[in-house]
């Protein structure tokens, strides 16, 4: 056998998001480009800001000797200081470059951090629904991801977190704004979570880490604000990237930032630099470290995302599909419509996605995010894609209500 059985098994049950993306390629060949409405992948489609393009050109023309050479594993010191300034402004806590490790995207950052803190058998809690790749990232380093059900409005359910807590619970991942719901966990929720973690951690002798995954932090609607994790939790770490806010997901530039108030924070940052090396990343991409050091504060206009969100809501309203109103990110998390009594009750998100696919609509089943009975639609697509999908959504829902499964 060439491929390990463990990887074969994992691949078979792997990301619904990528599977739907690949289905889109196949459907386009069958139905034609204009008959496929792909809402499956959170691939930002805004143009890269002109200011950032100018910085990219400037950096590309820099022929300083050694600018493409090796560096410390944690990244260029000037870049780490720049990101420290960014985080200081966002968090209201002074963060110097020594607490920052540059990474190959937020995914690389998460793996670097988990490698540094986990021992085999450790558990990481995550409010559900959640980004499904966390399961693999935690398992990569001998841990186990433990999903914890949230309340019906996707707010944190502290009793469920309490019940999921064990002696080997190492931390909890907070993804806010959340993928797939777009929900932002409020300051009140996080303060209540802090009290709970302190209570449970003191009994256990070790307060768990709070890992804040914040790639959607800048994409907000209706005046929403993301609370400062560093102000609320001393033992906290941020992982993030510039993929979503600057529309550069392929450049794989992200970072780990350790709260300066975290016990042994400098040692943890140093460990993340070391794990960057031994995981084979060696360092984050040199070129884009130099770009981001100059362009971390470039602003993008997200108003078109808000407009597309409104457009998609209109389409879904016309089809009778209910959804959670997002406070950030670029997704709508939608309820699987109720079926007619004669066709039998069914909340299967996979079954509903299969019906949608018959009409050229690609969505991601909620079961892939740990929440059955929902689907996720990414609205970072062209307005025409949204508008033209209207009749297909209507027909798909009518078909779904009547079809017997």
Q: Is residue 292 a contact partner of residue 83, using CB atoms and an 8 Å limit?
A: yes
- pTM greater than 0.85 (yes/no): yes
* The pLDDT of residue 254 is above 70: yes
CB count within 10 Å of CB 44 equals 21
DSSP 8-21: HHHHHT--HHHHHH
Question: Which residue is listed with tokens 């639609």?
Answer: 377
Q: What is the DSSP letter of 377?
A: E
The mean per-residue pLDDT over the stretch 261-282 comes to 98
Q: How far apart are CA 264 and CA 295, in angstroms?
A: 30
User: In angstroms, rounded to a whole number, what is the distance separating the alpha carbons of residues 147 and 127?
Assistant: 6
CA angle 30, 33, 36 (to 5 degrees): 80
Domains of the chain, first to last: 5-48+302-402 (3.90.1150.10), 70-295 (3.40.640.10)
Nearest Cα to 35, choosing from 47, 45, 26, 43? Answer: 26
d(CA 141, CA 382): 39
Task: Report the length, in residues, of the chain.
Answer: 405
62/378 Cα distance (integer angstroms): 38
DSSP state of 153: T
* pLDDT one-digit tens code per residue, 391-404: 999 999 999 998 87
More confident residue, 339 or 93: 93
Q: What is the C-alpha to C-alpha distance for residues 249 and 98, in angstroms, rounded to an integer? A: 25
Q: Cis peptide before 177, with omega less than 30 degrees from 0?
A: yes
Q: Is 404 or 265 the better-scoring residue by pLDDT? A: 265
Rounded distance between C-alpha atoms, residue 216 and residue 213, angstroms: 9
What is the per-residue pLDDT across 23-55, written as a single tens digit (0 to 9) for each? 778 888 888 888 899 999 899 999 999 999 999
Share of the chain above pLDDT 90, in %: 85
Closest C-alpha among 405, 388, 399 to residue 337: 399
The fraction of the chain above a pLDDT of 70, given in percent, is 96
Cα–Cα dist 215/226, whole Å: 12
Section 332-345 average pLDDT = 81
């Amino acid at each position: 056998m060439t491929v390990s059985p463990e990887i074969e098994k994992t691949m078979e049950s792997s990301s619904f998001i990528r599977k739907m993306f690949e289905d889109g390629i196949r459907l386009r060949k069958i139905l034609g480009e204009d008959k496929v409405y792909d809402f499956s992948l959170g691939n930002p489609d805004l143009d890269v800001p002109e200011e950032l393009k100018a910085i990219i050109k400037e950096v590309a023309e820099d022929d300083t000797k050694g600018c493409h050479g090796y560096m410390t594993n944690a990244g260029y010191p000037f870049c780490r200081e720049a990101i420290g300034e960014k985080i200081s402004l966002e968090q209201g806590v002074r963060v110097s470059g020594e607490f920052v490790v540059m990474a190959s995207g937020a995914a690389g950052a998460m793996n670097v951090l988990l490698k540094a803190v986990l021992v085999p058998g450790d558990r990481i809690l995550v409010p559900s629904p959640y980004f499904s790749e966390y399961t693999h990232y935690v398992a990569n380093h001998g841990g186990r991801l433990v999903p914890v059900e949230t309340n019906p409005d996707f707010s944190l359910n502290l009793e469920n977190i309490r019940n999921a807590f064990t002696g080997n619970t190492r931390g909890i991942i907070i993804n806010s704004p959340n993928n797939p719901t777009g929900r932002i966990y409020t300051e009140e929720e996080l303060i209540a979570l802090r009290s709970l973690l302190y209570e449970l951690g003191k009994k256990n002798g070790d307060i768990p880490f709070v890992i804040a995954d914040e790639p959607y932090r800048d994409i907000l609607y209706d005046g929403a604000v993301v609370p400062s994790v560093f102000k609320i939790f001393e033992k906290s770490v941020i992982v993030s990237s510039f993929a979503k806010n600057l529309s550069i997901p392929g450049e794989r530039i992200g970072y780990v930032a350790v709260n300066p108030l975290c016990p042994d924070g400098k040692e943890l940052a140093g460990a993340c630099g070391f794990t960057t090396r031994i995981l084979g990343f060696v360092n984050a991409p040199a070129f884009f470290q130099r770009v981001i050091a100059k362009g971390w504060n470039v602003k993008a206009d997200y108003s078109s995302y808000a407009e597309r969100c409104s457009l998609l809501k209109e389409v879904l309203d016309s089809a009778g599909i209910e959804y959670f109103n997002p406070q950030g990110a670029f997704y709508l998390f939608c309820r699987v419509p109720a079926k007619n009594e004669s066709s039998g009750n069914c909340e299967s998100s996979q079954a509903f996605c299969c019906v949608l696919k018959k009409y050229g609509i690609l969505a991601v089943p909620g079961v892939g995010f740990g929440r059955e009975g929902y689907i996720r639609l990414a609205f970072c697509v062209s307005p025409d894609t949204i508008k033209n999908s209207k009749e297909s959504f209507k027909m798909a829902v009518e078909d779904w209500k009547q079809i017997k499964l």
